[in-house]
C-alpha cells in the first residue's frame, strides 16, 4: 500500500513538473522577440555640391495618432557602413513610439521612404502601409502589424555608392551622385492571446489539486515541499 501511494505521488510530481515547465515555456515564447516583418528601402539622385554621406529614413502619417513621425533621420551613412546593422528604439529616437503605434493600429496609414545627400535636397516615395512591407507575419490583416508589439527596428545597409563629380550634370565639376539600398527588420512579438490566461488558471487548479494531503506522513512532507516550490 505505501508503495502504491509513493508511485501515485511521484506520478503527480512528474505531471506537475511537466505542466509547470510547459506553462513557463509558453509564457516565454509569447514574450520572446524576433523578426516579425521586413521592408526594403532604396533611393538615389544627385546634388550640385560635393557630398560624402547619405541619409535614408522613413516617415509615416495620416488621419490617426496626430502628427507625422520620422525614424532613422539622425543617421548619417557612408560607404564604409555597407553591411552594418543599426538599431532604433524609443531610447534612440523620440518618434519611435508614435511611428510604431501607426504600424500596429490596423489602419492603412501613409508611409514615405526618403533619401538625400547630407545637406542636400530630399527625394521620397509615398505609399500605403499595405504596399510597404516586403514580408509580414502569417495570419495578419494584410495591412500592418496589428496584434504585435514592436520592440525595435533594425536597418541593414546593403548597398551605398557616392561619386563626385559623378555625372557632373552642371558641367562644372561640382556634383555628387548617390545610390543606396537597405532592409528594415521589425523586431517584436505577438500580443498574448486571452486564452493564455485560461490555460494558466487551469494549470493552477490542477497543481492545487495536487496539494491534497495524503495519509502517509513522509509522502505528505514530500508533497508539501514540492508545493512550496510551485507556489
- What pLDDT digit, counting tens, does each position of 88-109 carry? 999 999 999 999 999 999 999 9
> Is residue 64 within 8 Å of 107, Cβ to Cβ?
yes
User: What average pLDDT does this structure show over 194-216?
Assistant: 52
- Whole-Å CA distances, 106 to 109, 140, 222, 229: 9, 10, 52, 43
C-alpha cell at 222: 514530500
Q: By percentage, how much of the chain surpasses pLDDT 90? A: 64
- DSSP states along 75-122: --B-GGGTT-EEEE-TTT-TTHHHHHHHHTSSS--EEEEEEEETTS-E
Q: What's the pLDDT tens digit per position in 130-159?
A: 999 999 998 889 999 999 999 999 999 999
Tell me which residue has cell 525595435: 152
At residue 21, the pLDDT reads 42
Q: pLDDT: is 5 or 180 the higher one?
A: 180
Average pLDDT over residues 56-65: 80
pTM of the prediction?
0.72
Mean pLDDT score across all residues of the chain = 81
Instruction: Report the distance separating Cα 116 and Cα 203, nearest Å.
Output: 56
Beta carbons within 8 Å of 189's beta carbon, 6+ residues apart: 30, 31, 32, 33, 34, 36, 148, 149, 151
Spatial CB neighbours of 159, under 8 Å, sequence gap ≥ 6: 82, 179, 180, 181
Q: Sorting pLDDT into bands at 50, 70 and 90, what band is 63?
A: low
Per-residue pLDDT for 179 more than 90?
A: yes
Q: Answer whether 114's CB lies under 8 Å from 72's CB.
A: no
Domain ranges within the chain, ordered by starting residue: 2-30+194-230, 33-190
Q: Is 47 helix (H, G, I), strand (E, B) or coil?
A: strand
Distance CA 128, CA 47 (A): 28
Element (H, E) at 54: strand 54-61
Q: Mind listing the pLDDT tens digit for each residue in 16-50?
A: 444 444 444 444 444 578 999 999 999 999 999 99
Structure-derived torsion over alpha carbons of residues 119, 186, 38, 45, reported in degrees to the nearest 10: 0
Q: Would the pLDDT of 83 be above 60?
A: yes
Gap between the terminal Cα atoms of the chain: 29
Amino acid at each position: 500500500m505505501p508503495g502504491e501511494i509513493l508511485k501515485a505521488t511521484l506520478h503527480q510530481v512528474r505531471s506537475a513538473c511537466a505542466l509547470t515547465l510547459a506553462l513557463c515555456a509558453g509564457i516565454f515564447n509569447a514574450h520572446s522577440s524576433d523578426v516579425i516583418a521586413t521592408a526594403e528601402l532604396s533611393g538615389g539622385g544627385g546634388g550640385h555640391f560635393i557630398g560624402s554621406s547619405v541619409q535614408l529614413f522613413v516617415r509615416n502619417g495620416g488621419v490617426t495618432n496626430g502628427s507625422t513621425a520620422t525614424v532613422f533621420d539622425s543617421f548619417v551613412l557612408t560607404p564604409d557602413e555597407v553591411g552594418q546593422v543599426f538599431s532604433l528604439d524609443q531610447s534612440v529616437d523620440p518618434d519611435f513610439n508614435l511611428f510604431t503605434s501607426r504600424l500596429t493600429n490596423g489602419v492603412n496609414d501613409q508611409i514615405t521612404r526618403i533619401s538625400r545627400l547630407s545637406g542636400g535636397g530630399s527625394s521620397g516615395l509615398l505609399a500605403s502601409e499595405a504596399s510597404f512591407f516586403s514580408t509580414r507575419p502569417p495570419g495578419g490583416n494584410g495591412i500592418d502589424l496589428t496584434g504585435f508589439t514592436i520592440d525595435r527596428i533594425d536597418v541593414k545597409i546593403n548597398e551605398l555608392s557616392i561619386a563626385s563629380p559623378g555625372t557632373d550634370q552642371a558641367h562644372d565639376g561640382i556634383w555628387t551622385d548617390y545610390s543606396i539600398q537597405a532592409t528594415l527588420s521589425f523586431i517584436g512579438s505577438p500580443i498574448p492571446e486571452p486564452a493564455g490566461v485560461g490555460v494558466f488558471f487551469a494549470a493552477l487548479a490542477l497543481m492545487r489539486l495536487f496539494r491534497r494531503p495524503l495519509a502517509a506522513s513522509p509522502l505528505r512532507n514530500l508533497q508539501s515541499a514540492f508545493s512550496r516550490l510551485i507556489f
